[in-house]
Structure 1
C-alpha cells in the first residue's frame, strides 16, 4: 500500500499538495545522490511528467499538480531543467532549489563536498579530479545517461510492489531490465505491478509472493495481459463514444452543446467529422 507523507514546515510555505509532491521529488533525488546518478550542473536530479505524477497522486488533478510544481519553483524549493537527448521530449527534470539546499545536494558529507577528489576516488562526481580540474566540463556519455534513466524507471516499477515483500532487489531489477529490453512498455509493467499490489492488499503476508519469485517466475505476465486487455477495452469504449458524438454532430443534435473541446479535437483527429460539420453544429474546432 502506497503511503504519502509531507513536511509540515514545507506545507506551511506552499500548501499540502505541493508539500506531498516535494516529498516524492526529494526522495528520488536522495536516491539518485546515493547511487551517484543523474548528476548535472553540480546537482542531482530526478524527472517526471505531469501524467506520471498523476499516476502517483490519483487524488490530484493535472491542474493541481501543475500549480503545486509552480509553487515549489516560485518558493525556490525546486528548480526545473531538461536534460533529455531528444529535443522533442518535454519531460521535466527537478533538483532541489537554493532555498532549501544551497549546495544542490541533500545533507552533503565531507566526502561528497570534494568536487575534485584525488585521482581514482569515487567522491569525484562525473570523473572530475585534480588531474583534470582545469579541463572544460564534458557531458556524460549519452549511453551512460540513458542507462541512468533506465535504472530510475526500473526502480520506480519495483517500488510499486508491496514494500514488505520486496526481496532480491538485484534479481528483480535484472528481470525488469530484461522485460523492458524485450519491448514491454514501462508504464504498463508498472501498472501490472500496482494491480498485483492492490489485489493482494488485504492478504496476509504469507499469501503475497516475494518480488524476486514474482518477477523470475513470470507471474507478472498475467497482470500485464490484464492491463493490456483493460487498455484495449478502454480504447474500444472510447471509439464507440466518439462515434456516438459524431452522430450528434452530423445530426446537429441539441446535446452537441455538451461536447467538450477535447472531444472535438478527438473527433477531428479520428476523421469522424469535418471542420465544417463542427462549425455547423455550433462548436469550435
Structure 2
C-alpha cells in the first residue's frame, strides 16, 4: 500500500493537498535526475495528466488536484511545460520552481556540471561553457548512447504490442515504459501485460479501447502486470 507524505513548511505555504502532490512531483524529478531522464531547458521534469494524478490520489477530486497544481505554480514551487511530440497531447510536465531551486534544478549532476569554463577558453570542451551549459552535449558518452539504444529497442517492442490503431503520444508512452523498467518492472512481464490487454480488447469497439498514452500514464497496465506476475 502506498504512503503519501508532505513537508509541513510547504503545507503551510500552499495547503495540505498541494503539499502532498508536491512531494510526489519531487520524488519523480529526483528519480529522473538520478537516471538522467527528461532533461529539458536546463531542468529535470516529470509529467502526469490530471486523470493520472486522480489515480494516485483517489481521495482528491479533479478540481482539488487542479487547484493544488495552480497553487504550486503560483508559489513558484514548480513550473509547468509541455514537451509532447503530439500536439493534441495535453499532458503537463513539471519541474522544480525557482523558489526551491534558484539555479533551475535540484543539484547539477556530474554529467551536466563537469569541465565548465568561460566561453572561448581552451579548457572548455566543445558545447560546454557557462553561456550554454544547459544545452545538450553534442558528443554523448558512447556507453550511455548504447544503453539508450537498447532501452529504446525494448520500449518499441513493448509499445508495438499495443492495439496499433489506438497508439497515441508515442514519446509519452516510450517514456512511461522506460520509467517502469527503470523502476524494476521486468520488461518481458510488461510486454506480456500489453499483449494480454491487446487480446482482451480484440472484441471491443474502437471507442472502448483506451489510447496508449492514457493507458500507460494512468497505470492501467498494472492490473495486467500483476496478473502476468501471478501466473508466472
Measured against the shorter chain, the TM-score band is 0.5 to 0.7
Cα contact 2:41–2:135 (8 A) shared by 1: no
Cα contact 2:54–2:62 (8 A) shared by 1: yes
Shift of 1:192: 4.3
State the SS of the aligned residue for 2:79: strand
Aligned pairs for 1:172-211 within 5 A: 172-177=186-191, 179-180=193-194, 184=198, 185-186=215-216, 187-192=219-224
Structure 2 unmatched ranges of 5 or more: 117-123, 141-151, 154-168, 199-214
Shift of 1:98: 0.3
Structure 1 unmatched ranges of 5 or more: 133-142, 160-168, 197-213, 221-285
**Alpha-carbon distance in 1 for matches of 2:72, 2:191:** 33
Quickly say closer, same or farther: Cα 1:83–1:109, change in 2 above 3 A. Answer: closer
Q: Which has the larger radius of gyration?
A: 1
Aligned pairs for 1:92-111 within 5 A: 92-109=92-109
Quickly say closer, same or farther: Cα 1:149–1:43, change in 2 above 3 A. Answer: farther
Structure 1, 89-98 or 174-183: larger mean CA deviation: 174-183
TM-score by length of 1: 0.52
TM-score by length of 2: 0.62
The aligned residue for residue 14 of structure 1 is 14
Q: What is the total number of aligned residue pairs between the two structures?
A: 176
State the SS of the aligned residue for 2:107: coil
State the SS of the aligned residue for 2:58: coil
State the SS of the aligned residue for 1:76: coil
Q: RMSD value over aligned CA atoms?
A: 3.6
1:219 aligns with 2:231: yes
Shift of 1:106: 1.8
* 1:42-64 superposed Cα distances (whole Å, 9 cap, x missing partner): 11111100010000000000000
The structure with the largest helix share of the pair is 1
**Alpha-carbon distance in 2 for matches of 1:128, 1:93:** 23
